[in-house]
Amino acid sequence: MSKHFKAGGSLFQGGKEIVPAVDGVSLALSEGETLGLVGESGCGKSTLARLILGLERVTEGRIYYQGQEITGLDYTKLCDVRQNIQMVFQDSYASFDPFYTVAGIIGEPLTNFGNNGRSLGNEINSIMERVGLEPAYASRYPHELSGGQLQRVGIARALILYPKLLLCDEPVSSLDFAIKAQILGLLKDLKQQLGLTYLFISHDLSAIRYICDRVAVMYLGKIVEILSMRRLLEDICHPYTTALLAAVPVADPRLRQAERGHIKGEPPRFAGVAGGCRFYFRCPHAIPLCREVEPVLEKVGTAHAVACHLKHELGLGEQLSEVRTGGPGDSGEIYSQERSG
């Protein structure tokens, strides 16, 4: 049994300007897998998650869950699907009703699905125990809790229906590092205990590396590379993925790089992209072809797909792993190196 998602291009129409937040994305997520979705702010990661849950209307394309199409379902049918797909939000405090107690927040999905009986309290207690919340917190209000505790409440609320798939939208990005490690550990444990499947959205590659099996890299509404986590350093190929990885600070002052091979600037506005590769303007390797023709996502290995015209010429992986393990040269070389093609 596998879960299949095919989320296809969606367009937000606001006034005259059309912003293709998610533009022709195809992804398949198998059961028991943790797929990371990484990219800069505004690349469409969160929109993709909201599309899957039916929180946004799909403009084009289809989404399948366990072989059944779930795009454009009516409200009651969508509710059934949502029992199996739940979401953990980035800013958990903002996603709670401040007038609800913790027990009320966690229990709401259950009452929504018709469970008003005596078991409600027990269910809430057992899920709170699972996510590591003291039973005493049940009667507290969101403002009385710390960021880490709030995120635990968010996870408990998402899990109380025992869904199959959990969409985690930046669950740790607003947290302190120590709390972040705790929450990531918790998510990892819960996955094993409950046999969950995660779509883990983050802009933080270190968190992704810790928890994910596969990672999809998104840039301006398109997936530019899909990699297996285990072979990240060997396979990494797209210049954007390389740049993203190079931008993550390394926790070793000896590997400090004075002027690293950072990509400069920020993603252009969508209106600026016409034809050609979306990464053209920031890509250090761009050739004239990149401006003309948009590369398509092509499979280049068993679990590796990349959308780049220079995918065969850019064997960036080896050099990057060399840099990260303190090998010769600094990562500036990655970008100053001549293309062999």
Q: Please give the residue ranges that form the binding site for other proteins (CB under 8 A).
A: 40-41, 147, 176-179, 181, 203-206, 209-210, 243-244, 246-256, 258-260, 262-266
Provide, rounded to whole angstroms, the least separation between the CB of residue 86 and other proteins: 26
Contact 217, 223 (CB under 8 A): yes
Contact 260, 332 (CB under 8 A): yes
Q: Which is nearer to other proteins, 67 or 249 (CB)?
A: 249
DSSP secondary structure of 197-219: EEEEEES-HHHHHHH-SEEEEEE
Provide, rounded to whole angstroms, the least separation between the CB of residue 74 and other proteins: 37
Q: Which is nearer to other proteins, 272 or 341 (CB)?
A: 272
* Amino acid (one-letter) located at 187: L
Query: How many other C-beta atoms can be found within 10 angstroms of the C-beta atom of residue 50?
Result: 18
Could you give the C-alpha distances from 272 to 17, 46, 223, 249, 287, in angstroms and in order?
12, 21, 18, 30, 18
Q: Which is nearer to other proteins, 209 or 231 (CB)?
A: 209
Q: Which is nearer to other proteins, 265 or 275 (CB)?
A: 265
Provide, rounded to whole angstroms, the least separation between the CB of residue 55 and other proteins: 23
Q: Which is nearer to other proteins, 179 or 303 (CB)?
A: 179
* Amino acid (one-letter) located at 52: I
Provide, rounded to whole angstroms, the least separation between the CB of residue 38 and other proteins: 9
What residue spans of the chain are helical by DSSP H? 45-52, 75-84, 102-112, 119-130, 147-159, 177-194, 205-211, 232-235, 239-247, 288-292, 316-324, 332-336
Which token pair is 65?
């869950």
Provide, rounded to whole angstroms, the least separation between the CB of residue 116 and other proteins: 38
Q: Which is nearer to other proteins, 86 or 149 (CB)?
A: 149
Report which of 39, 64, 41, 44 is spatially closest to residue 54, judged by C-alpha positions.
64
Provide, rounded to whole angstroms, the least separation between the CB of residue 264 and other proteins: 7
Q: Which is nearer to other proteins, 84 or 173 (CB)?
A: 173
Provide, rounded to whole angstroms, the least separation between the CB of residue 265 and other proteins: 8
DSSP secondary structure of 140-168: --GGGS-HHHHHHHHHHHHHTT--SEEEE
